[in-house]
Amino acid sequence: MLKIPLIISCFYVIASNAILYDSFTGKPVNKTLLKIYETRKNIEICTIEIKPCEPNQWRRVDGSCTNPKYPSRGTHRTPSHRVLAPVFSSDYEPRKAVNGGPLPLARKLRTELLSMGKASERSITQLASYYMIFMFTDLSAIHEVANYIINIETCCIPEGQYDNRCIPLKIPVDDPVHRYSGVRCMNLTRPLSYQTYGCLDNGTTFERMVIQTPLYDLSQTYNPTPGVIDHIRTYKNGLMIEEEEDGQLFPPTDPDSHMCLLNQPPRENRCFKYHINNVMSSNLMNILFYRQHNQIARELYRLNPSWDDERLFYTARDINMAISVQIFFYELLPIIMGKKNMIRDGIIGDGGFRDLYDESVEPRMSDEYVYGLRWFHLIQETDLKLHDKNGHYVRSFPLVNGTTRTGFLAIDNNMQHIIQGSFRQLGGKFDQTIDYDMADRILGGILHSSDVTASDIEKGRYYGLQPYVNYKEFCTKKKYRSFADLEDSFSFESLNRLMKVYKDPRDIDLIAGLWGEKYVKGGKIPETLYCLLVEQLKRTVQSDRHWYERHNRPRAFTEEQLKAIRQVTIAGTLCYIGDFVTEIQPRAFYAISNE
């Protein structure tokens, strides 16, 4: 009881003129509010302590001072931006259908709107989906999933029936898969909000609480939670702590952690201590970017033996972040969004410096952007083809069996074999088909059955996302009142499927609309998804004073240095840090071909 007030007086008095900001409002906390948080014992969650911004400082690990006008925006627990205001029925329950009844069951929509099966994309590798997920985990943690696999296990049994935190998915009796299995319910919990933690009063508008920073700053690698970076840094020569196992280097482990649910002891013990133990592809890329930091720091030290630890650390981090974003914006997204489209819409430039910084734009991520990325669940191929370093096929492995199984990567050359497979194997097709494991056992052996795309629908409703046609209207400025109005954007077959399950076009859930929508010209994603990505990516570049392409950001790259960053590719990165990658096609998100 005494401890929290003591810490707070430290914040106010001792910690060198730091200020305590309210996470939600972004304003300094006054005494009245502090008292309230004190009573609720949630000061640490609802507030963030920030030292005054300095004009020439490096990008802080906690994300503060990304825009000095709004010092706390950019830290973890920055509220989301909303493209369209949230809509709910009473008590922040999902909106109703136009006719006043409930919306169709999420699982029903999934089985009616998506086909199950396997198909490969002819020209794109599995690596593209890994990188997509890796960049997703820069913005979003899996704390909501952890909630229903670890914290609340009662959502599908009578005990959980009246638990407000539970929002389980009902399975129709005629479900094509589960009419045979007897499974009638899938576990799911309500999204976590400022209300969940008592930072906003109950009854106020639902506001999601997001754990990562709303910036592309490798949150997954450097961990923005205040103080954690001190446990990861060696404070010597800019390096981060590495542990060696079997000749390979890993971030620090916590063998007693309970977060690696699928580790198979006694051989698989490794479990991240300061990083999120996540899906396999993201864990794998995260290990590589962690190692890459140290590679860069060592090289910098070799070139600049007089630099101190601070300068080496922040320079290495700056380069590491720039590489991650360069690959994303200039190598991966153009394949998906269309390069010409991105140039036209100002998301990427033509080579030199770019400065779009606008201090009136707060660093925030839109809920619609992060949610829209769930569309990429459709392209995930889950049957991994492991290869050895000479490019020979070793065996296959179900991707979903690797979730929260960090220890798997440290044994039997698994990590090496997965990387080798990632740029040799074709990825899942960009189509309206969902892979079997994604559809029914996304969490591998953690839960008996779980359907990621049905959860996507349900989550969208609890986030209060508006109907699909409203987003389409936002993007095209046209009205969509009847199914016929949608004819230009859907194939006959896709529109037919929608008409079978929804009574009114204004009922269509955002993601359900995206599943069937025609692709943007020159790209491989639905038109409206393209529009929502553009809406956010602009804000990303505009709101970030540390954006790597700016010539006048604090400690900016020189022209020569930026040029070097621009030459980095995912192939080069894997050569540099991947285990035993000695041969790789130059554009590794594209499949190996005769050319």
Ligand X SMILES: *[C@@H]1O[C@H](CO)[C@@H](O)[C@H](O)[C@H]1NC(C)=O
Contacts with ligand X by CB under 6 A lie at: 25, 27, 30, 32-33, 153, 156, 164, 183, 186-187, 198, 201-202, 397-398, 401, 444-445, 447-450
SS3 239: coil
Smallest distance, ligand X to C-beta of residue 142, A: 16
Select 25 or 123, whichever has its Cβ closest to ligand X.
Answer: 25
Q: Which is nearer to ligand X, 70 or 329 (CB)?
A: 70
Contact 110, 453 (CB under 8 A): yes
Distance (Å, whole) CA 210 – CA 366:
11
Q: Closer to ligand X at the Cβ: 66 or 401?
A: 401
Q: How far is the CB of 201 from ligand X (least distance, A)?
A: 5
Least distance (Å) from ligand X to the CB of residue 105?
A: 15
> What are the phi and psi torsion angles at 418 (to 5°)?
-70, -45
Query: Shortest approach of ligand X to residue 154 CB, angstroms?
Result: 7
β-pair type (115-116, 433-434): parallel
- Measure the CA–CA gap between 48 and 225, rounded to whole angstroms: 10
Phi and psi at residue 121, in whole multiples of 5°?
-85, 130
Tell me which amino acid residue 545 is: R
Is residue 339 packed enough to be buried (19+ CB in 10 Å), middle (13-18) or exposed (0-12)? Answer: middle
**Shortest Å distance, C-beta 66 to ligand X:** 22
290 neighbors 240 (Cβ within 8 angstroms): yes
CB of 360 to ligand X, least distance (A): 21
Q: Check: CB of residue 201 under 8 Å from CB of residue 217.
A: no
Report the nearest approach of ligand X to the CB of residue 202 (Å).
4
Rounded distance, CA 171 to CA 454, Å? 10
Q: Are 403 and 443 in contact (CB under 8 A)?
A: yes
Query: Judged by CB, which is closer to ligand X: 297, or 384?
Result: 384
> Which residues fall within 8 angstroms of residue 176, CB to CB, at 6 or more apart?
111
**Residue nearest ligand X (C-beta atom):** 445
Cβ-based nearer residue to ligand X, 198 or 226: 198
Q: How far is the CB of 29 from ligand X (least distance, A)?
A: 7
The residues, any chain, with a CB within 8 Å of residue 210's CB and separated by 6 or more, are: 76, 77, 78, 80, 139, 140, 141, 365, 370
- Residues forming beta bridges with residue 590, ordered by sequence position: 124
Lookup: tokens for 319: 């380069």
Rounded to 5 degrees, φ, ψ at 141 are -100, 175
Distance, CA of 595 to CA of 541 (rounded, Å): 35
Would you say 332 and 127 are in contact if contact means Cβ atoms under 8 Å apart? no
Nearest distance from residue 1's CB to ligand X, in Å? 18
Total residues belonging to the chain: 595
Cβ neighbours for 144, distance < 8 A, ≥ 6 positions apart? 189, 191, 192
CB of 467 to ligand X, least distance (A): 28
Give the other-Cβ count within 10 Å of 170's Cβ: 16
Q: How far apart are CA 434 and CA 255, in angstroms?
A: 35
The span from the first CA to the last CA of the chain, in angstroms, equals 68
Q: 47 or 125: whose CB is closer to ligand X?
A: 47
Residue 440, CA distances (Å) to 116, 193, 336, 397, 435 in order: 10, 27, 26, 17, 9
Q: How far is the CB of 463 from ligand X (least distance, A)?
A: 19
- Cis bond leading into 28, ω under 30°? no
Q: Which is nearer to ligand X, 162 or 492 (CB)?
A: 162
CB of 581 to ligand X, least distance (A): 24
Is the CB of 173 or the CB of 303 nearer to ligand X?
173
Nearest distance, CB of residue 181 and ligand X, angstroms = 9
Considering all CA atoms of the chain, what is the largest pairwise distance in Å, rounded to the nearest integer?
Answer: 71
Task: Specify whether the CB–CB gap between 255 and 271 falls below 8 A.
Answer: yes
Say which amino acid occupies 94.
P
Residue 462 is encoded by which pair of tokens? 């609890």
Percent of residues in the chain assigned helix, strand, coil, to nearest 5: 40, 10, 50
Q: Among residues 447 and 499, whose Cβ is nearest to ligand X?
A: 447
Name the residue nearer to ligand X (CB basis): 261 or 333: 261
* Closer residue to ligand X in complex, CB, 181/491: 181
| Contact predicate 457/186, CB 8 Å | no
Strand partners for 20: 49
Residue 75 or 528 with smaller CB distance to ligand X:
75
Query: Which CB atom, from 258 or from 503, has the smaller least distance to ligand X?
Result: 258
Is 377 known to sit in a ligand binding site? yes
Binding-site residue numbers are 377
Binding-site residue numbers for heme b are 377
